[in-house]
Amino acid sequence: MTTRRDVLAGLTGLGTTLATPALARAERPRAFADNEIVRAGHSFFGAVSRNLAELVQEAASRWGRPNAYILGQEASGAIIGGLRYGEGTMYTRNAGDRRIYWQGPSLGFDWGADGDRTMMLVYNLPSVEAIHQRFVGVDGSAYLVGGLGFTALTFADMVVAPIRSGVGARLGVNVGYLKFTPQPTWNPF
């Protein structure tokens, strides 16, 4: 039987790592400095790190310093309506690291498919469990073969800013949400 992990690994070509999530405490995660985020992104994204630094600076000027970030991979596709599935690890400075999964639908003038390495900066996270929400946003993409993208999704005062670097072909604008869960699921709703 093909699992979600097999599909993601096959679509992105990046493979996955198995990690055991650390037990998280209920305290608010402390913020990361911009240079710590850039270093983590540099080792994760590699060659596109110069553009990553610019995106991290743009995010810092809008929302301040993140108190968590997620590194992972995802796959998505759309023909008017779309679906996105991903998995990764959420890192916090003082509340532990944990495995996290995301999925969500989108609707708009959107066509294409892509597989991405993704870094999500998380702002105003009151506790590690608070990430398990639906974060809404608007996304636009225009690339052939590969690209680097940045958007923002919100829920209450929390902001998740995904930075994606991947391969595929995508053109369009859509509105949608990402639902974060502690376990993988095929249900995007």
Over residues 130-153, the pLDDT tens digits come to: 999 999 999 888 777 777 778 899
What distance in Å separates the CA atoms of residue 67 and residue 77, rounded to the nearest whole number?
30
Helices within the chain (DSSP H only): 4-12, 34-45, 49-63
Mean pLDDT estimate for the chain: 82
Q: What is the pLDDT of residues 80-107, one digit of tens each?
A: 999 999 999 999 988 889 999 999 999 9
Q: Tokens for 138?
A: 């608007």
What distance in Å separates the CA atoms of residue 131 and residue 134, rounded to the nearest whole number?
8
Res. 27: pLDDT tops 80: no
Taking residues 40-58, report their average pLDDT: 71
Q: What is the pLDDT of residues 108-123, one digit of tens each?
A: 999 999 898 899 999 9
pTM of the predicted protein model = 0.74
Res. 168: pLDDT tops 50: yes
